[in-house]
Structure 1
């Protein structure tokens, strides 16, 4: 029997947490860099067309935002984790607002594994669990393909076993 999870302790210390791949940080940083480059290019065009002198303040603000986002991306990816227990799967994430999803194996309808082109380029996949309640769906991004396949197969088998008892 697993001990109950306290609402005041969002990351239970009684379970063995597995982390996601640090390659997910690179993927998210590439997305940020792409957006920042487009914004800076737009500001450069605006400066060239209208010769706005104060545009450098906006550039400085964009760069400061980028630095803060880099820090939050790194810490945010490191906050992701999942734990497989006897009757349910726990998924955690979040820095300021911590999220803990507990998905009972018996309530799972299907498990979905996906990988965007960028995830495939870095050898990662995302496992998504679907339940009858849309709000209770949980996902685990940044898994290596072997880990994603193992988790998918284990969750599917456990979901079938637990659903037979309903």
Structure 2
């Protein structure tokens, strides 16, 4: 149902962690190997996948701590991580990459359509165009006056400090 949060590595003084039978899935975060005070670990009977993160601490726990996770591999388990599993991970990454490209393409098209909608309406509707540029002119005038006043005030402060 859920995953172990990667921020678990921030719990530096954690001594015991039992997440057995919690319907957790995904990979065991590498940050868990940062828990230097961890003396008891039980991640059994979940649905973890991939390799157990490398770190002297995690390999020192008994294999029973990882029991019931058939897709988990690496020491201390007897199941080695094969190249085939790495290939499957790379294949999944390729699918995710394809989704990212689609997302970025959709965002780009949406941006262009929105921009053309704004500029097209300003180009075609004379009243909107005049109001828009009057507003823009007022904003730029306000910014100019604000900056000029600040520069003047800074100059006066500088002159009075001499």
TM-score range, shorter chain: under 0.3
Q: Which structure is richer in relative contact order (CA contacts within 8 A, separation 6 or more)?
A: 1
Q: Give the structure with higher Rg (CA).
A: 2
Q: How does the TM-score come out when normalised to structure 1?
A: 0.25
More helix by share: 2
Q: How does the TM-score come out when normalised to structure 2?
A: 0.25
More strand by share: 1
